């Protein structure tokens, strides 16, 4: 078997008596589109937080292309090719869209320690940022402030910031949350245009979009993997129905 893009084994995390992650193991192949579903409180975002390093698991291992991440700080994991969007938007509202993407670009460049040159003069960075914005359909809005944009535009900006870093593994935390139907369609089309050299793990509640997008699905419940498999397998599995529909 080739090296997995993301391999999680025996991951566990508890807050006092509350177990949020109970022995999760999963394997995501390079280029795969993986969907993670589960009811509220299933531990989906907590899982993401452990992959990115916002939370330290109690035990287990997380490997990115074979390399152990657990000992690394968040910023070093990002340098290895991990990117993420947030369910609750965390952007820089008083800055322009371009500036937001430039901050993202700077994150992986040594020039972030440049104390002297004017950032405004770095047209190379702004060109790259413009490219990323065009990719998500925000090419015309680069000079607007984030505070003046709509929710749907901010979701796209989140994506642009992640994609600008040319990640190997992209974690999407509910990229469609709070969007209108039109915007949902637009963003999901956008997701299908992401090249295959990016492996995507997505948390999403919108089943129409998510099921169409994903090849492999993992169902989490109370911090455990309940079902895992292809779209058809997971939909047919009685345990999926049980979790979502009750007995």
Partner 1 sequence: MSRSGIASILALIALAFVPFMMGDFFINLSSQVLCYALFAVSLNLLVGYGGMTSLGHAAYFGIAAYGVTWLHTVAGWDQLTSAIGAVAVATLSAAFFGVLALRASGLSFLMITLALGQIVWGMAYRWVGLTQGDNGMRFPVRPEPFGISINSATSFYYFSLIVFAVSVYFIWRVVNSPFGASLRGARDQPRRMRMLGHDVWMIRWAAFVMSGFWAAIAGLLFVYYQKFVSPYAVSLQQSAEVLLMTILGGATTLTGPMVGAVIVTLVKNLASTYVERWNALLGLIFVLSVVFMPTGLVPGFQKLLSRKKKPSAPAEEAPPPAHGHGHAATPASEHAS
What's the min distance (Å) between Cβ of 114 and partner 1? Answer: 5
What's the min distance (Å) between Cβ of 170 and partner 1? Answer: 12
Q: Is residue 145 near partner 1 by the rule CB under 8 A?
A: no
What is the separation of C-alpha 159 from the centre of its chain, rounded to a whole number of angstroms?
9
Q: Is residue 128 near partner 1 by the rule CB under 8 A?
A: no
**Helix, strand or coil for residue 18?**
strand
Strand order in the sheet with 6-15: 18-28, 6-15, 59-64, 67-68
Q: What length is written for the chain?
A: 247
Write the CB contacts of 116 (distance below 8 Å, at least 6 apart in sequence).
Answer: none
Contact segment (CB under 8 A) with partner 1 among 116-124, 130-138, 147-155, 194-202 equals 116-124
What's the min distance (Å) between Cβ of 112 and partner 1? Answer: 5
What's the min distance (Å) between Cβ of 106 and partner 1? Answer: 5
Q: Is residue 185 near partner 1 by the rule CB under 8 A?
A: no
Q: Is residue 115 near partner 1 by the rule CB under 8 A?
A: yes
Q: Is residue 163 near partner 1 by the rule CB under 8 A?
A: no
Contact between 50 and 21 under an 8 Å Cβ cutoff? The reply is: yes
What is the separation of C-alpha 202 from the centre of its chain, rounded to a whole number of angstroms?
6
In the list 108, 128, 177, 226, the residue contacting partner 1 (rule: CB under 8 A) is 108
Name which of 102 and 217 has its Cβ closer to partner 1. Answer: 102
Q: Is residue 118 near partner 1 by the rule CB under 8 A?
A: yes
Reading the block at residue 137, the tokens are 């359909």
DSSP-derived secondary structure letter, 180: -
Site string for partner 1, 27-56 (x = CB under 8 A): -------------------------xxx--
Give the number of other CB atoms < 10 A from CB of residue 211.
Answer: 15
- Interacting residues with partner 1 between 65 and 84 (CB under 8 A): 73-75, 78-79, 83-84
In the list 59, 90, 180, 230, the residue contacting partner 1 (rule: CB under 8 A) is 90
Helix ranges, the chain (H): 44-52, 74-79, 97-106, 123-135, 151-164, 181-192, 207-213, 231-236, 238-245
211: closest CA among 199, 219, 220, 223?
219
Which residues contact partner 1 by CB under 8 A? Answer: 52-54, 73-75, 78-79, 83-84, 86, 90-92, 94, 99, 102-104, 106-108, 111-120, 122, 161, 165
């Amino acid at each position: 078997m080739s090296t997995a893009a993301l391999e999680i084994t025996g991951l566990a995390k508890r807050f006092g008596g509350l177990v949020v992650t109970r022995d999760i193991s999963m394997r995501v192949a390079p280029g795969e589109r993986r969907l993670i579903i589960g009811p509220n409180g299933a531990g989906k975002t907590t899982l993401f937080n452990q992959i990115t390093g916002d939370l330290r698991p109690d035990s287990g291992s997380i490997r990115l292309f074979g390399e152990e991440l657990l000992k690394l700080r968040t910023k070093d994991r990002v340098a290895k090719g991990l990117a993420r969007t947030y369910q609750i938007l965390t952007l820089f509202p008083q800055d322009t869209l371009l500036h937001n993407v430039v901050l993202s670009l700077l994150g992986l460049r040594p020039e972030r320690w440049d104390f002297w040159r004017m950032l405004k003069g770095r047209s190379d960075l702004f060109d790259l940022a413009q490219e990323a914005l065009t990719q998500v359909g925000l090419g015309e809005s680069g000079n607007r402030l984030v505070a003046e944009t709509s929710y749907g535009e901010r979701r796209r900006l989140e994506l642009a910031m992640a994609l600008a870093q040319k990640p190997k593994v992209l974690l999407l935390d509910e990229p469609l949350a709070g969007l209108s139907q039109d915007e949902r369609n637009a963003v999901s089309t956008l997701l299908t245009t992401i090249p295959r050299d990016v492996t995507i793990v997505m948390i999403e509640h919108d089943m129409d979009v998510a099921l169409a997008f994903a090849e492999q699905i993992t169902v989490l419940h109370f911090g455990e993997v309940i079902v895992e498999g292809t779209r058809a397998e997971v939909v047919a599995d009685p345990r999926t129905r049980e979790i979502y529909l009750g007995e």
